Structures are given as C-alpha cells and as structure tokens.
Structure 1
Amino acid sequence: MSTRLRLAALLLLIGGHAGGAEPPAPKATEVRTAIFAGGCFWCIEADFEKLPGVLAAESGYTGGRTANPSYEQVSAGNTGHTEAIRVSYDPQRVSYPQLLDYFWRHIDPTVRNRQFCDVGTQYRSGIYWQNEVERKAAESSRDALLASGKLPHIETEIVAAATFYPAEEYHQDYYKKNPIRYAYYRQGCGRDARVKQIWGSS
C-alpha cells in the first residue's frame, strides 16, 4: 500500500471512531406561548412584536361561547370573546414574568370592558394562563402592582386559557400591511397618550 493510501486509511479510522459517536446536533430553540388581551389586537400585537425574545404574535379571539367566531361576530359583542393575541417567545431570551410586566405597561388596567376608545366586553383586557406557574406569576404581578400604589385598582381578568381562535388573515400584522391606516387609528384612539399618562414615558 502506498504512503498516501495508508495515511488516508489512518485518518478515516481516527475520524470514524473518535469519541465513539457523532457530535450532538445543536439544541433546537424552545418556543413557548402566552395569551393576552389588551383591547384592539392590532395594537397589542404590534407592541409585543417589538419585544426582544418574542418570535411572533398572532391576533385572535378567546374566552367566548361560539366556535370559530368571525370578526363580525366578535366585534358585535355577542359571542363572549375578547380580541386577544397569542405570543410565541423564546424563554431563553425573555421570561413569562417579563412578558407580564411588558403587558401591564402597554394597557390601561384600570377600566372594565374597554380599552382606550374601544368599548365593550370584546375589548376587555385579560391574562389567560395555561398552567399553574403562569397563574401564580400573573396573580403575583397583579398583586405587586396594587401593593406599589401605582394603580388604584385593576380590572384586568386573570383566568384559565380557553380555546384561542386565530383571526382572519387580513388582521395578522395589520400594522405592517396597512401602516397609514394603523397609525391613524392608534393615534385617534388615544392609546399611547393614555399609556404614557398611566406609566410615564419609560
């Protein structure tokens, strides 16, 4: 056997048996979800998609009686649903308590069955926990806010998650698809002005 062939065979032997196994594949990113309602889902979706660690936010409906409701049904206020979002996030980059803190500071928790210019049960704010860890974290965050004296009372519901129905495609990423209409609506609704009044510029 030539020197070149012997060297090739030796390298193959070393490479094929070093460590006794193939190197482990990179660990896939874990993705978790969280469900919140903060009035118009266009706005709360846009807010959450700016948060580092959030992979996506999906507009939809939850907490109602009708299966697969349409936007027209929900907006009429007769199905019991609220406009909500389902957040997909990387827990290595942002934690559930951090999502809660971010959520509170992008809504008005002091009003019932409305958010900003939108009025009705379909615009109530809510945190919809999916397990006991989330329930305890949500209740603790609410209690801490009340204890801080920052808010006189909190009307945001904290209840077990029900079925989440994704909204129609034209509602998804509305702020990207219709930036001028979205900006006009958001400003006209007074959302950012009221949030700043409650929470300050930070």
Structure 2
Amino acid sequence: MTEKATFAGGCFWCMVKPFDQFDGIESIVSGYSGGSVENPTYEQVKSGTTGHLEVVEITFQPEVFSYEQLLEIFWQQIDPTDNEGQFQDRGSSYRAAIFVHNDKQRRLAEESKRALDESGRFNKPVVTEILDAAPFYPAEDYHQDYYKKNEAHYKEDRAASGRDEFLEATWRED
C-alpha cells in the first residue's frame, strides 16, 4: 500500500533529487498545488497569479520509508524561516509548505515543525505552512526529473541559488 506526500520547497527541480535515492519511494512528480486555476501552466504559476506553489508529489511505501523520514529530508532542503520564496527563487509560487493528505500526516508535520522551531537552530521563527492537500497538477514533461535530463543546467542553477551554502551552514554537524 502506498501513500502520497506533497512538499513545496521553492524550485521543484531542487526538491526531487534529495528524495529520489531511497527504497520505498515509488515516484516523485514535479507539479503545482494550492491554487485556483485548473491545469495551470508553468508560465501561469510562475507569474504568481494562480495561487499555486511549485511542489513535488511523492508516492511512497510507508512501511519501507516513513512519512517522518520524508519530513526530516524536507526540512533539510529549505529555509523554513522564509515565507517569501526560497533562496534565489522569490515570490508566492516558491514558498515552502507541507500539503497533508490525512490527519496522521498533519499531526506528524505539526510535531516536526514545532520541534524544529524549538530546536534553536534558527534565530527566526519557522513559518513554513502546513496546508490541506489540494488538487495536484503535474508540471510539463520537461520539468520531470530535471536533474537527470538537464544535469549541467540543474547544477548551474542550484549552485547559483545559494541553497547548498545555506543547507551546509545550517545542517552540518559541528
């Protein structure tokens, strides 16, 4: 039996690879969720007029790879104190959020957010929203598995974003 997990962490290109290496992860689809327009295009979402966020929808086997493990990976990919976008990607479509699919996911997401906020790791509050799952629309084919299909551009874009420097400084073990 599989479940779905949906995470927004800025540019969806950077949110696929961290999850795409574990047993129990069946698929990761880049797409859009949380907005008011059916079947939005990338250009519409990027304009900030549809209300959608760039997300990844993960189909996983919870008995092999738990939702708690997914949450741990998610938090370590974002700046949870920034509600205006993520790293170089600014605007409403690049906000971080957790879209929960059931009450258990909501409870676990809220517990993990509270623990992170209380951890003292950040000098600002954790503001990442936890939202009810909304309709999910897969992104255009060229966005799927972007880190594999366009490796050079992916690496260049990620390097320019500031994401890796932030993550290294925030999560390295001293």
* TM bracket, shorter-chain basis: over 0.9
Q: Does 1:102 align with 2:49?
A: no
Of residues 150, 157, 161, the one that matches 2:129 is 157
- Residue 166 of structure 1 is matched in structure 2 by 138
- Is the 1:108–1:198 contact (alpha carbons within 8 Å) kept by the matching residues of 2? no
Residues 95-134 of structure 1: matches in 2 within 5 Å? 95-134=66-105
State the TM-score, normalizing by the size of structure 2: 0.95
Q: Does 1:47 align with 2:51?
A: no
Distance 1:157-1:172 versus aligned 2 partners, 3 A rule: same
Gaps of 5+ in 1: 1-29
Q: Does 1:188 align with 2:160?
A: yes
Residues 29-108 of structure 1: matches in 2 within 5 Å? 30-108=1-79
Higher share of residues assigned helix = 1
* Bigger Cα Rg: 1
The CA deviation at 1:201 is: 5.8
CA distance in 1, matches of 2:150, 2:117: 37
Asked which structure has the greater RCO (Cα within 8 Å, sep 6+), the reply is 2
- Is the 1:37–1:82 contact (alpha carbons within 8 Å) kept by the matching residues of 2? yes
- Residue 143 of structure 1 is matched in structure 2 by 114
SS in 2 for 1:170: helix
String of CA shifts for 1:15-46, please: whole Å, max 9, x gaps.
Answer: xxxxxxxxxxxxxxx22110000000011012
Letter in 2 for 1:147: E
The CA deviation at 1:113 is: 2.0
SS in 1 for 2:134: coil
Question: Would you say how many aligned residue pairs link Structure 1 and Structure 2?
Answer: 173
- Is the 1:110–1:153 contact (alpha carbons within 8 Å) kept by the matching residues of 2? yes
Aligned-residue Cα RMSD (Å) equals 1.3
Q: Report percent identity of matched pairs.
A: 46
Gaps of 5+ in 2: none
The CA deviation at 1:53 is: 2.5
State the TM-score, normalizing by the size of structure 1: 0.82
- Residue 22 of structure 1 is matched in structure 2 by none
Letter in 1 for 2:6: I
CA distance in 1, matches of 2:169, 2:85: 17
